[in-house]
Amino acid sequence: MEFSPDFDALACQFDGPEVNAIVLMGSYARGNPGPFSDIDLVRFGDEHKKLHPEDGSYLIDGHLVVVSSVNPTQVEEWFSRPEAAVNVITGLRGARSLIDRNGIFAAIQTRALKFEWDAAMQEEADVWASQQMVGWIEEVHKGLEGLRSGDIGRMLNARFGCSWGLSRVMCVHCGVLLSGDNAFYREVMETIGIDSEWARLRGEAFGIQVGGGKSLSLREQVIAGLRLYVVTAELLGGVLQTADEPLIMQTVSLIRATLGRLMLDEPLRGHA
């Protein structure tokens, strides 16, 4: 039997005197839930006031209900910080209001519907992306050392930074307003270009072998991720910040030189 939640009843369970609004977000708000989809409830409260019951995950009638709360400062960040906007704006546009005292959420949703990724937001996104490229250099070094020494722990850290981390960099830089967290991989790839070198290397860094064939080893995934760092730096070349660019380009040179030596010693399938 298909599960048909009583969203109004659920909202009442997490309502309280400090709650200004409760909205439904995620797959149930979009109308495309699966049998294992969680129910996302977001509560809006006032500054520095803890809402009860507490935020968290609840099992209700055999289904996972995830409750989170935000205050006005956090809401403002959704509209002013690009790394927050990409995650939230589309969800706000399609959210379903369950409780809305004094039209608090209606005003927020109207802002989301009118939201535009303007020049000021792009400038902030470029600064953020440049800083993140510096932040992921540590994982690049872990990857290079992991390849040298065969250290699995270092390679796993590198694979994360050079797959999820660099995907996030390009998501924010390109202003990809995600339809949901599960669409992250596809929507960023479509924006950059499905057939682009960046998309191919990102897929390999995640261990996704396009067209079938033998699965990629952890070592091959790390090498693809390191090459992805190089390509990402090239794509960001025009917006890298003055303070960041020397360190980023030094890292690019290090990757190229190290992988060049590695390929002479140990050619890998598809990269010889």
Residues 197 and 106: beta-carbon distance below 8 Å: no
Indicate the average pLDDT of the chain. 93
Domain-located, residue 2? no
* 72 plus 139 within the same structural domain: no
* 249 plus 145 within the same structural domain: yes
* 99 plus 143 within the same structural domain: no
Domain boundary residue, one of 71, 94, 114: 114
Residue 187: CB atoms within 10 A of its CB come to 19
Q: What is the rounded average pLDDT of the residues 190-211?
A: 92
CA distances to 39, 61, 112 from 58, rounded to whole Å, are 10, 10, 28
Domain-located, residue 270? no
* 221 plus 87 within the same structural domain: no
Confidence (pTM) = 0.93
Q: Which CATH number does the domain housing residue 34 bear?
A: 3.30.460.10
**Structural domain span for residue 195:** 119-265
Domain-located, residue 69? yes
Domain boundary residue, one of 99, 114, 129: 114
* 239 plus 196 within the same structural domain: yes
Residues 223 and 113: beta-carbon distance below 8 Å: no
Residues 20 and 44: beta-carbon distance below 8 Å: yes
- Cα 186–chain centre separation: 11
Q: What is the pLDDT of residues 99-154, one digit of tens each?
A: 999 999 999 999 999 999 999 999 999 999 999 999 999 999 999 999 999 999 99
pLDDT band at 86 (very low <50, low <70, confident <90, very high): very high
* 41 plus 71 within the same structural domain: yes
Residue 190: CB atoms within 10 A of its CB come to 12
Number of domains in the chain: 2
Domain-located, residue 271? no
Domain boundary residue, one of 114, 140, 156: 114
Helix (H/G/I), strand (E/B), else coil: 268? coil
* 54 plus 153 within the same structural domain: no
Token pair belonging to 62 = 């055999």
Q: What is the pLDDT of residues 52-78, one digit of tens each?
A: 999 999 999 888 999 999 999 999 999
Domain-located, residue 41? yes
Q: Is 196 exposed, middle or buried (0-12, 13-18, 19+ CB in 10 A)?
A: middle
Token pair belonging to 256 = 């190229």
Cα-only R_g, the chain: 22
Query: Does the structure show a pLDDT above 80 at 210?
Result: no
Domain-located, residue 203? yes
Domain-located, residue 142? yes
Q: What is the pLDDT of residues 145-186, one digit of tens each?
A: 999 999 999 999 999 999 999 999 999 999 999 999 999 999
Domain-located, residue 272? no
* 65 plus 200 within the same structural domain: no
* 172 plus 145 within the same structural domain: yes
Closest CA to 205 of 193, 194, 214, 217: 217
* 102 plus 75 within the same structural domain: yes
* 99 plus 22 within the same structural domain: yes
Contacts of 227 (CB under 8 A, 6+ apart): 201, 255, 259
* 127 plus 246 within the same structural domain: yes
